[in-house]
Amino acid sequence: MKTIFLFLTFTISLFSWSQHIYGSISSGFLLNVNNNQAPSYIVNTFHQISLPWFWRQESYAFKNSVHTDLNFGYMITEQLGYELSFSYLKPNSVSDNFDFGQKIMSGAFFQSAAKLIFCVPLKKFDLYAKVGLNIVKGKMSYLQTIEDGNFNSLGTSTASLTYTYTSPTSLGYNGAIGVNVPVSKRCSFFTEVRYINQVFSPKNGKMTSFSYNGADLLANNDFQPYYAQIEFGTESEWLNYNSTDNSKPQKLYARSYALGGLDFTVGLKFKINLVCGKNHL
């Protein structure tokens, strides 16, 4: 017990108890991890019969994203602290144009993270590292439009279909290294490189728009869940699935979409409160 006490006393003596609270705003660009998967179906099989152009196996993935962050932190000492972050994450849409139509996959997400901060204060700047956990919540949309005379003997027709995909909150992790440079007593500029592990795996899909030659088919028809909704699951859940109960969503094989990778962030930090001692921003 005495040895443990001496060790703790020695460890504490290495820290400078200079405490402060801060807030910061930042934005960045994320290069998403390439999550190659075999193509699979992501729209209801109802469209295999009504409009087979909307029934194809897809393998789209988000390639990069932009984000805006609001961060709040507390430095317990000059070397150790923690931070809470809240971000709006917007992947760049994936657009696929073909001879008689277009497909667009898009998404918008809210991400929050809790991080530990390890800082090395130097004379003119601070070096730091962060590590923590993050969660994400949001939705994806998949828009398909076709314009072709092949499915209407009277001439060219236009059809549009949108599915929206949602999921419970998913967990990931993050790590970062960065440089913090003071520009005044209470304000500093920082830049950091992060690695984020995060995926979005839709659990549910729903047809949210369906039109044909300008007519709103979704509003003018009462589509039962089997013809307008999806439940995504594992292979054992969807393999050989066949249902005659139209009150339940259709089951399809689950896919995952990467929302993490290598990230480059810049921002401004503002010291909100000084507790004691000399502080580094």
How would you class 251 by CB atoms within 10 Å of its CB: exposed for 0-12, middle for 13-18, buried for 19 or more?
A: middle
Q: Which of 13-22, 26-35, 171-180 has the lowest mean pLDDT?
A: 13-22
Provide the mean pLDDT of the chain.
85
* Long-range contacts, 49-56 (Cβ 8 Å, 24+): 51/146, 51/151, 51/159, 51/161, 53/100, 53/101, 53/144, 53/146, 53/148, 53/151, 53/159, 54/144, 54/146, 54/159, 54/161
Best-predicted range by mean pLDDT (9-18, 137-146, 272-281): 137-146
Residue 277 has pLDDT above 70, yes or no: no
Are residues 270 and 24 in contact, defined by beta-carbon separation less than 8 angstroms?
A: yes
- Per cent of the chain over pLDDT 70 is 84
Q: Is residue 208 very low, low, confident or very high in pLDDT (cuts 50, 70, 90)?
A: very high
CA 198 to chain CA centroid, nearest Å? 7
C-alpha–C-alpha distance, residues 62 and 196, integer Å: 14
3-state SS class at 132: strand
Best-predicted range by mean pLDDT (144-148, 198-202, 244-248): 198-202
pLDDT of the residue at 214: 84
User: In the predicted model, what is the mean pLDDT of residues 73-83?
Assistant: 92
Q: Is residue 150 very low, low, confident or very high in pLDDT (cuts 50, 70, 90)?
A: low
Q: Which residue has the higher pLDDT, 229 or 46?
A: 229
Residue 221 CB neighbours (<10 A): 12
pLDDT of the residue at 263: 96
CA dist 142 → 42, 52, 208, 274 (Å)? 9, 16, 10, 49
CA 100 to chain CA centroid, nearest Å? 31
User: In the predicted model, what is the mean pLDDT of residues 63-67?
Assistant: 95
Residue 15 has pLDDT above 70, yes or no: no
pLDDT of the residue at 272: 78
pLDDT of the residue at 14: 39
pLDDT of the residue at 18: 55
pLDDT of the residue at 278: 43
Q: Is residue 239 very low, low, confident or very high in pLDDT (cuts 50, 70, 90)?
A: low
pLDDT of the residue at 273: 63
- In angstroms and rounded to an integer, the radius of gyration of the C-alpha atoms of the chain is 25
